[in-house]
Structure formats: structure tokens, C-alpha cells
Amino acid sequence: MRQQFLLLVLLFSIFTACNSSGVFDQNTDIKGKQWSYDQILPFEVSITDTTQQYNLYINLRHTNDYQYSNLWLMMRTTFPDGQTLDKRVDLPLADKQGKWYGSGMGDIITQQVLIQPNAIFPMLGKYKFELVQDMRLNPLPDVISAGLRVEIADQKKKEAPKHTDKPNVAKPK
């Protein structure tokens, strides 16, 4: 089991290292797979381009025994100028039948949930993100790790539709 876990971590590291659109991707292990309210997960992201749009994801690894179909988080963002923004985020993890959205290896499920598509960072500098579990149960069992991924948004999605030279005119009857 330990060897499978190390293999999974190695493969995940190789996969994320090869992705050129990734600006930041970091995970933090949860102590004893019991995420308590007082375990705040900090992440610091350097933004060097304010003209780009970014996608923000929450990375989550949990066991197959995790008993909920979602996970609520509080996310605090501290801007380079010191201003803060708090946001409650719902992470859907399973469908109505209980099938996990993420991928699994053994009893470990890995999920990456898009929480903010096409985000714009208005200032250059370091942004601090803090994640806190916000479920009713404390500590929250069966959570292995959580993290943040920031990547450059797909530029192809922003292209305008192409027009044809012919006007779309109905023929008279």
C-alpha cells in the first residue's frame, strides 16, 4: 500500500511538472486524515502577468470511505496590498448515485475541482490563499490532502465565432 501511494505521488508530480499552463500547483497533507477547523492550509502564488486570465482549482485527495458527496471550504485570499476576500466554496465530489467525479487508485480518490474560471488578478505580486474545511463535522475524517492549482486559462475559448462572407438571407417564396 505504501509503495502504491509513493508511485501515485511520483506520477502526479511528473504529470503536473510537464503541464506548461500551470502557474502554481501545491498540495498539503492533512494530519492523520482528520481535517480539523484549526488546520489552515496556506498557499502563496506569485502573479507576474495581470493581462492573463487564470483558472483556479482545488485539489483534493480523500479515501473511498469519505461519507459526503461534497465538501465545503472557506477560502481567504489576501491580495498583494493586504486586502482580504473571504469566499465559501462548495466542492461537488460525487453524483446522486454516489459515484466519485475524480479518479481512483485503490481506496484513494483524487479530485480537481474548478472553482474560478477565467479569473483576473488585478495586481502584480504575491497572493496568499488559505483553505479551511467548513463542514459541520469537526474534524472531517478521510481527507488525505488538499491543495490549490492556478493555471493560465485556455485561450481558445475566448475566440470570437467566425463569420462567413455570405449573408444569411432567406429566399423569397
Of residues 144, 153, 155, 119, the one with CA closest to residue 59:
144
Side-chain-facing half-sphere of 26: CA atoms under 13 Å = 13
78-126 confidence digits (pLDDT tens): 999 999 999 999 999 999 999 999 998 889 999 999 999 999 999 999 9
DSSP 8-class letter at 33: G
In tens digits, the chain (173 residues) has pLDDT values of 545 443 344 344 434 444 456 799 999 999 999 999 999 999 999 999 999 999 999 999 999 999 999 999 999 999 999 999 999 999 999 999 999 999 988 899 999 999 999 999 999 999 999 999 999 999 999 999 999 999 999 854 443 333 333 333 333 33
At 154 the pLDDT is 83
Distance CA 148, CA 131 (A): 9
Distance CA 150, CA 26 (A): 9
At 172 the pLDDT is 38
**Grid cell in block for residue 158:** 475566448
Is the CB of residue 31 less than 8 Å from the CB of residue 95? no
| Interacting residues of 35 by C-beta distance below 8 A, sequence separation 6+ | 133, 139, 140, 143, 146
- pTM exceeds 0.85, yes or no: no
At 164 the pLDDT is 36
Query: Domains (ranges, CATH) in the chain?
Result: 2-154 (2.60.120)
DSSP 8-class letter at 173: -
Q: Judging by DSSP bridges, how do beta strands 54-63 and 143-152 pair with one another?
A: antiparallel
At 79 the pLDDT is 98
What stretch of H or E contains 141? Answer: strand 140-141
Burial 136-161 (b: 16+ CB within 10 A, else e): eeebbebbbbbbbbbbebeeeeeeee
